[in-house]
Amino acid sequence: MGSGFGRGTLFVIEKRSMKRAQKNELGDEQRARGRRAIAEARRHFSGLRDSRQRRGKRHALVDVAMISLLGMLCGCDDADDIAEWAELHDDWLEEWFTLPHGTPSQDTILRVFELLNPKAFATAVMSWLSSLRPPGRAHIAIDGKALRGSLDASSGKSAVHIVSAWMREASLLLGQVKAADKSNETTAIPALLERLDIKGCVVSIDAAGCYRTIAGQIAAQQGLYLLAVKENQPTLYRDIEKLFAQSPEKRRRSVDELARPKVEQNREADSGHGRIEERTATVSRDLDWLTTQEEWPGLAAVVMIEATRTHARTGAVASERRFYITNEATMTAEQAQAATRGHWSVENNLHWVLDVTFGEDNSQIRSRRAAENFAALRRVALSLLRAAPKPKRRSSIKHVRRYCDHRVDYLLQVLSTPLGEKSSSRA
């Protein structure tokens, strides 16, 4: 039977293969650049303790971590993919790593990440990512995500839950901490905040972080909190609801009644995905209506977001109201609108990309330590990919990973992005 390809098609395929091989062939300059880039990256992981027994150990822990990171930058989503990718690229990996026993296998990679101390690895990752952080004021969104594939029902173990700090402007992960589950984010958030420099930054957290101790910690670290308020704080929630209900009240008040709260508003509207959305942000600094005002450190204003969505075809209307508190006395309604919308970039630009592009929810790593360490590896890979200049103006993260796999020079560029240098547009 024939191959199904004509002579011209086979010639094109062969030509493309030769072209790719030539582009991935390392010259002396690339070898030197690769050694420098790997050496600089290794420095962030050099303090990690290797708890493996000396006998039978064939690969250095740092080498396994670095090869895994390179594989993840090049489109690999799990240990099996990384091992296969490394074997296919052993010719130029041997230029940068000492591999007398060949590239690490899937079992070796999993064993290393299972034995690696998650706290130590997270600290190393945070050190690296903090070097990519641009200076100045920022919006830091904190939110949690379950690693669904780590759920082990047969052993009665719940999925690993990771709480992340995401810098919205730079699309950069600043750190992560493991929580026992969703309900224990209240203990993970303070631990994460302790590791961050939040001076002058707006820190937004959903209702899971709306507690006096967390507000106090952010204020003590000279940060500006923006906390969502729900029924888990019933008194505060009812007071804010009452405050905004009274603000449009026009009747004349008696002497012993509180003055009508003054408010500032900002309205926005946009359309997309077959619906029209209108959002109104209302800010008030008249806090006498709050019976627990003194219990919230530095509380300066309350915010209400009213959103109305109209289905363009059916005309069906859905609306919701959300309340927030902040210690930023100068926050305008326009800034509140931007900050509350911007908080969800942690869902759209971090969690969604990790699931869709990195296959995080499909990962079947059952070891809780290995699952947590792989989560950290995915996040540093994503941050490096976002920090580097894009190969094309409209390249997605998926396309950027493909470029890393097909162009060694671009992979080295991603790995050695100068500190603080950012592309003008994000992938």
- Rounded to 10 degrees, the C-alpha dihedral 68/71/73/74 comes to 180
> Side chain identity at 205, as an amino acid letter?
I
DSSP state of 157: B
| Nearest alpha-carbon partner for 228 in 86, 325, 353, 367 | 325
**Of 6, 30, 377, 317, residue with least CA distance to 176:** 377
Which amino acid is present at 258?
A: L
Closest CA to 147 of 397, 364, 385, 377: 364
Q: Would you call 408 helix, strand, or coil by DSSP?
A: helix
pLDDT of residue 176: 87
pLDDT value at residue 280: 95
* Contacts by 356-364, CB closer than 8 A, 24 or more apart: 357/396, 357/397, 357/398, 357/401, 358/72, 358/77, 358/382, 359/77, 359/78, 360/147, 360/149, 361/147, 361/148, 361/149, 362/77, 362/149, 363/77, 363/78, 363/147, 363/149, 363/150, 364/78, 364/149
Convert 379-404 to b/e letters by CB count within 10 Å (16 or more is b).
Answer: bbbbbbbbbbbbbeeebebeebbebb
Residue 261 carries which side chain, given as an amino acid letter? Answer: P
The span from the CA of 63 to the CA of 12, in Å, is 37
- Which residue reads 């050695």 in tokens? 416
**DSSP type of residue 313:** T
- Bridge partners (DSSP) of residue 152 are 157
Q: Which of 340, 95, 64, 307 is nearest to 202 (CA)?
A: 340
Report the distance separating Cα 5 and Cα 205, nearest Å.
Answer: 57
Distance CA 400, CA 383 (A): 12
Write down the pLDDT at residue 4: 52
The span from the CA of 282 to the CA of 279, in Å, is 10
Can you tell me the distance from the alpha carbon of 334 to that of 398, in angstroms, rounded to the nearest whole number? Answer: 34
Q: How many helices, marked H, and strands, marked E, lie in the chain?
A: 16, 9
CA separation for the pair 65, 62 (Å, rounded):
5
Q: Which residues pair with 226 in a beta bridge?
A: 204, 326
Alpha-carbon gap, residue 2 to 132, rounded angstroms: 53
DSSP-based three-state secondary structure for 231: coil
SS3 call for 392: coil
What pLDDT is stored for residue 11 in this prediction?
43
Q: How far, in Å, CA of 17 to CA of 264, rounded?
A: 62
pTM of the model: 0.81
Beta-strand ranges (E) seen in 214-328 are: 224-229, 264-272, 275-284, 301-311, 317-326
Which tokens go with 236? Answer: 């505060």
Domain extent listing, the chain: 7-126+368-415, 221-249+260-331
Residue ranges of the chain with per-residue pLDDT less than 70: 1-27, 30, 56, 149-157, 180-183, 252-256, 417-427
